[in-house]
Structure 1
Amino acid sequence: MDILPIDQSAREGRPPRVAPSTRMSFRKWMRELGWRHLVGIAVVLFAVFPLVYVLSASFNPGGTLTGSNNLFREISLENYVDLLGDPRRPYAAWFANTLIVGLTTSAGTVFLGALAAYAFSRMRFTGRRPGLLGLIIVQMFPQLLAVVAIYLLMRGISDVFPAIGLDSLIGLILVYLGGALGVNTYLMYGFFNTVPASIDEAAKLDGAGHARIFFTIILRLVAPILAVIGLISFIGTTSDFVIASVILTSPEKLTLAVGLFRYVSEETSTNYTIFAAGAVLAAIPVMALFLWLQKYIVSGLTAGAVK
C-alpha cells in the first residue's frame, strides 16, 4: 500500500493516512479486460494453426498428411527438391506465370482505376451519375455467372487473335482487368473525393493541366488507396482458380493455383506434402508485397490523404 507524505496529523503523533489501493482484483480484471485477451488469443490460434500445419507438412518427407499430425516431427527439404526438380511439374514456370499475371493485373488495375476515379471525381460530363450507378449495379451480380460468357468470348477471340484468346496469359490478364475495374474504381472514387478540390484549382492557376495534376499531385496524395487496391488485386489474381482453369490449358502456361490442383488431382498417388511445399512457396510473394506496402497503408490510416 502507498503511504501519503507526512501531514499535520503525523506531526501531532497520530497515525498517517493510508491511500486506498488502486490495484484491480483478478476477478474484476477478468470480467472487464481478461476475457478480451482470451478471445484474442483463441482467434490468433485459430488463424495461425492451419498455416503452421501446412508449413509442418511441407517439411514432412512421408508423403501423406497423416504423418504430419505431429507438428515438425521430421524436418527435411525433400518435398521442395522433388517439387522443383520434377520435369512433369514445371513449378518454376507456374510461379513465373503467376507473378507475371498478378503484377501486371495489379499495375493495370491501379492505373486504369485511378484514371477512371479521377474523371468521375473531378470532371462533370454527360452520363457521369449513370456511370457510377452502373458500376454499383454490375457488382451486384456474382462473377461466376460470367464464366460461360467469358469462355465463349475468349474462344471467339482465339479464332481472330490467338495471342489474346484462350490459353494465353495476355487474355487472362485482360479478363482480370475487366472484372476488377468496377468495384476498384468506385473505391478510389470515394477516396479521391477526400482530396480538396482547392488543390486542383491552385495548380490550374499555375498553368497545370489535368494530366499534370493527376500524375504529379493527386497520385501522391492517394497513395494509400492505390497500395490497398494493388494488394487486393494481386491477392485475388494469384489465388484465383475458376477463371484461370477455364482459360489456361497448356501445362507450361498454368498458374500456381491451377497447376498445383491438377498435380494433386491427376496423380495416381496424391502427394499432399509436395502440394503443401508448393503452397508455402506461393505465399512468399503475397507476404513480401504486403510487407512492402504496409508503410503506405499505415500512413494512410494515421496521417490521412492530405499531408
Structure 2
Amino acid sequence: MASTSLIPREVSFVHFEALFTDPNRPYLRWFANTLMISTVVTLGQILCSALAAYAFSRFRFSGRRIGLLSLLLIQMFPQFLAVVALYLMFTAIGEVIPQFGLNTLLGYGLLLMGGALSQVWLIKGFFDSVPKELDEAAIMDGAGHATVFFRVIFPLITPILAVTGLLSFIGVLGEFVLASIFLTDNDVKTLAVGLYATIDADRSGNLGVFAAGALLTSLPVVLLFQFLQKFITGGLTAGAVKG
C-alpha cells in the first residue's frame, strides 16, 4: 500500500510485522549475515591496511613507491570488471573446499577481503603526521616493531582507524553487485540482496515492507557512528597539551 500524501495520516506497524513474520523473507537471518560479514571484513581490512600503512610510512625498501602507486591504480578500477574471473575462481574453489565456494558466507567474506588494503593511503597519511621520534625512543628502550606499532603508535591513530572503520563498515553493508552474484540462496543473502529481491518481486505491494527493512538497516550505521564518535573526538584532542 502506497500513500499519495507526503505527510502520513496514520501510524502503522503492519509492514514491520510483515517483515518479520513472512517465512519466505528471513529478515533476521539476512540481518545477522550482514552484521557478521560487515564486522569481520571491517576488522580484517582495518588491521591489514594499518599494518601495510605502517610499513609504507616508516620503512624505506625497494619497490615502496611502486607498491603505493600500484595500490592507488588498482582502486581506480571498479569491482565488476573482475566479476567473471572471481566467479570462475570461487566455483573452482567450491569444488575443492565447499565451505569457501559460491553461496557461502565464508567465501563471500574471503572475496571481500581482497580489498583489505583499500584504506592504506588514508591511514598512511595519518601515520606520516606522527613524529618518528616516538618510534626511535621506544626502539632505544628495547621495543620491537610489533611493540612500537601496537603499544606506541596504535593508540595515537585511533581517529583515522575509527573513520576508516566506519567507511569500510558502510561499504560492506551496502555492497550489492558481488553479493547478488555470489549469494543466491535465501538463507545466505545479505540485507542488500534480500531487500532488493523483496521489492523486485512486487514493487507496489512490498514497497512498505522494503521501507521498513531499509529503516532498520540504517540502525547499525547510526549506532556505530555514535560509538566511534568519542574515539574520533578523544583522539583528536589527546595531543592538545600546553607547551
Query: Scaled by the length of structure 1, what TM-score is found?
Result: 0.74
Q: Which residue of 2 aligns with 1:235?
A: 170
**2:117 is paired with a residue of what secondary structure?**
helix
Q: Which residue of 2 aligns with 1:148?
A: 84
Residue 139 (structure 1) aligned to one of 71, 75, 79: 75
Runs ≥4 residues deviating over 4 A: 300-307
- Per-residue CA deviations over 1:244-274 (Å, capped at 9, x if unaligned) read 1111111011000100111121248631001
Instruction: Decide whether aligned partners of structure 1 residues 301 and 202 sit closer, same or farther in structure 2, where only a CA change above 3 A counts.
Output: closer
Q: Rg larger in 1 or in 2?
A: 1
Residue 98 (structure 2) aligned to one of 162, 171, 188: 162
Residue 211 (structure 2) aligned to one of 276, 281, 295: 276
Q: Residues 168-247 of structure 1 correspond to what in structure 2 (within 5 A)?
A: 168-182=104-118, 184-247=119-182
Alignment partners' CA distance in 2, 1:117 and 1:305: 24
Alignment partners' CA distance in 1, 2:180 and 2:25: 16
Count of residues paired in the alignment? 242
For structure 2, the 5+ residue unaligned runs are: none
Q: Which residue of 1 aligns with 2:232?
A: 297
Please tell me whether the aligned partners of residues 192 and 222 of structure 1 are also in contact (alpha carbons under 8 angstroms).
yes
CA shift for structure 1 position 72: 2.6
Please tell me whether the aligned partners of residues 195 and 305 of structure 1 are also in contact (alpha carbons under 8 angstroms).
no
Q: Give the aligned CA root-mean-square deviation in angstroms.
A: 1.9
Alignment partners' CA distance in 2, 1:298 and 1:269: 44
Please tell me whether the aligned partners of residues 108 and 179 of structure 2 are also in contact (alpha carbons under 8 angstroms).
yes
- Per-residue CA deviations over 1:60-84 (Å, capped at 9, x if unaligned) read xxx22xx152423110111111111
For structure 1, the 5+ residue unaligned runs are: 1-62
Opposite residue 129 of structure 1, the aligned amino acid is: R
CA shift for structure 1 position 178: 1.2
Does 1:102 pair with 2:38? yes
Please tell me whether the aligned partners of residues 221 and 305 of structure 1 are also in contact (alpha carbons under 8 angstroms).
no
Query: Scaled by the length of structure 2, what TM-score is found?
Result: 0.93
Please tell me whether the aligned partners of residues 83 and 277 of structure 1 are also in contact (alpha carbons under 8 angstroms).
yes
Q: Which residue of 2 aligns with 1:88?
A: 24
Alignment partners' CA distance in 2, 1:151 and 1:120: 32
Opposite residue 169 of structure 1, the aligned amino acid is: L
Instruction: Decide whether aligned partners of structure 1 residues 251 and 303 sit closer, same or farther in structure 2, where only a CA change above 3 A counts.
Output: same
Instruction: Decide whether aligned partners of structure 1 residues 160 and 304 sit closer, same or farther in structure 2, where only a CA change above 3 A counts.
Output: farther
Residue 11 (structure 2) aligned to one of 75, 93, 114: 75
Instruction: Decide whether aligned partners of structure 1 residues 270 and 221 sit closer, same or farther in structure 2, where only a CA change above 3 A counts.
Output: same
